[in-house]
Amino acid sequence: MQIFVCIKQVPDSGQIRVHPVTNTIMRQGVPTIINPYDLFGLEQALRLRDRFGGEVTVMTMGPPMAVDSLRKALTFGADRGVLLTDRVFAGSDTLATSYALSYLIRKAGETWGAPDIVFCGKQTIDGDTAQVGPGIARRLGLSQLTYVSGIDDMDLTDRQILVRRRGDHGVQVLRSRLPVMVTMMEGSNEIRRGTQADALRAARAEIVQWNAATVGISDTSLCGLRGSPTVVKKVFAPTARDEKAEMISTEGISPSGMAEALVDQIFSRQPGLRDDLFRQAAGH
């Protein structure tokens, strides 16, 4: 079977810094990682390949350096990586991103065989919209299965797939038909370490690189900033509240003294809450 896994290279969020003067995000020198949510899809893809045979292709749209993430995915055992990179994609919102990715997936399908499953991450840790997976599904006419906590069964002959899906109030058991777009829940599996052989292969592997023209995009007005209906009008720092926090003094005061003062302060600001607490304590 053919499985495609969409991954996004993201800044390692723990290490992002904001410039203290200009308030802009300092991306230079920030290490990048594969979006952690994408690894649950990748591991699921590898398990399906191990069981049913076939190939796992990892793909991303991004700057040339996104090759690193694809290569990293190969060390876990993916069979090939494809990068879609072109300046026309700069500034894409989710609609423009799913547009570009749908062309990438179509072209990859023509090259290696149409995908039975396309995995996306549940969301990313930077943009964090969870909109690209559904966008791809819609554009390619794939059945959309988001928040999947487990794939219980699959039958390649009658093209059925049985999944459990995490809803807001419980778990849905769904049966659908391939091809599908799946996003996996975090914690549904753990990415494997990859073998020595995978590491060696990944180091030497050639990552396929395509641009807008090679995947067949002729109308670049639907790409990048131009093709994005959302426009970021302003970026700003949150305003501090008008009154600053009232600070409890600590100079030469014992922890119990501080705690007493803090409790006094809380109770005087929230007398209703104090009364309720006392009432509960008194067992009423």
Partner 1 sequence: MKRELPERFRSYRHVWVFIEFEHGRIHPVSLELLGEGRKLADQLHVDLAAVIVGSGRAALHEVAATTFSYGADVAYIADDPVLADYRNEPYTRVITSLVETYQPEIMLLGATVLGRDLAGAVATTLKTGLTADCTELAIDGERSLAATRPTFGGSLLCTIHTLNYRPQMATVRPRVMAMPTAQERQSGRIVEFPVDLREEDMITKVLDFLPDTANEAAQLAFADIVVAGGLGLRTSENMQLVRDLAQVLGGDWGGSRPLVQKGWIPAERQIGQTGKTIRPRLYIAAGISGAIQHRVGVEGADLIVAINTDPQAPIFDFADIGITTDAITLLPTLTRVFRQRLAVNRMAG
Ligand X SMILES: Cc1cc2nc3c(=O)[nH]c(=O)nc-3n(C[C@H](O)[C@H](O)[C@H](O)COP(=O)(O)OP(=O)(O)OC[C@H]3O[C@@H](n4cnc5c(N)ncnc54)[C@H](O)[C@@H]3O)c2cc1C
> Would you tell me which residues interact with ligand X (CB under 6 A)?
6-8, 13, 35, 37-38, 60-62, 92-94, 97, 101, 120-121, 123-133, 230
Pick 197 or 232: Cβ nearer ligand X:
232
Shorter beta-carbon distance to partner 1: residue 204 or 234: 234
170 binds, among partner 1, ligand X, none (CB under 5 to 8 A by kind): partner 1
Decide: is 190 part of the binding site for partner 1 (CB under 8 A): no
Judged by CB under 8 A, which stretch of 50-58, 72-80, 84-92, 252-260 contacts partner 1?
252-260
Contact between residue 136 and residue 6 where contact means Cβ atoms under 8 Å apart:
yes
- Pairing mode of beta strands 208-210, 80-84: parallel
- Which of residues 60 and 123 has its CB atom nearest to partner 1 in the complex? 123
What six digits make up the tokens of 251? Answer: 């100079």
Q: Is residue 67 within 8 Å of residue 193, measured between CB atoms?
A: no
- By CB under 8 A, the residues from 41 to 80 that bind partner 1 are none
Among 51, 87, 90, 173, binds partner 1 (CB under 8 A): 173
What distance in Å separates the CA atoms of residue 6 and residue 11, rounded to the nearest whole number? 17
Tokens coding 127: 């943009």
Whole-number Å distance between alpha carbons of 126 and 14 = 11
Cβ distance to partner 1 smaller for residue 197 or 247 = 247
The encoded tokens of residue 113 equal 């065989």
Beta-bridge mates of residue 120 = 183
d(CA 7, CA 3): 13
Is 15 a residue that touches partner 1 (CB under 8 A)? no
Specify which residues 155 forms β-bridges with.
Answer: 160
Q: How far is the CB of 253 from partner 1 (least distance, A)?
A: 9
Which listed option, ligand X, partner 1, none, makes contact with residue 38 (CB within 5 to 8 Å by class)? ligand X
Of 16, 90, 200, 203, the one binding partner 1 by CB under 8 A: 16
- Residue 91 is a binding residue for partner 1 (CB under 8 A): no
CA distance 76 to 93: 29
| Nearest approach, Cβ of residue 137 and partner 1 (Å) | 7
Q: Which does 155 bind (CB under 5 to 8 A by kind): partner 1, ligand X, none?
A: none
CA 128: distance to chain centroid?
Answer: 7
Which SS3 state, helix, strand or coil, does residue 206 take?
Answer: coil
Q: Which does 92 bind (CB under 5 to 8 A by kind): partner 1, ligand X, none?
A: ligand X
Rg of the chain taking only CA atoms, in angstroms:
25
Whole-angstrom Cα distance, residue 103 to residue 35?
Answer: 21
**Shortest separation between residue 146's beta carbon and ligand X, angstroms:** 10
Beta carbon nearer to partner 1, 53 or 283 = 283
- Between the CA atoms of 47, 48, 54 and 58, what dihedral angle is there, to the nearest 10 degrees? -70
149 touches partner 1 (CB under 8 A): no
98 binds partner 1 (CB under 8 A): yes
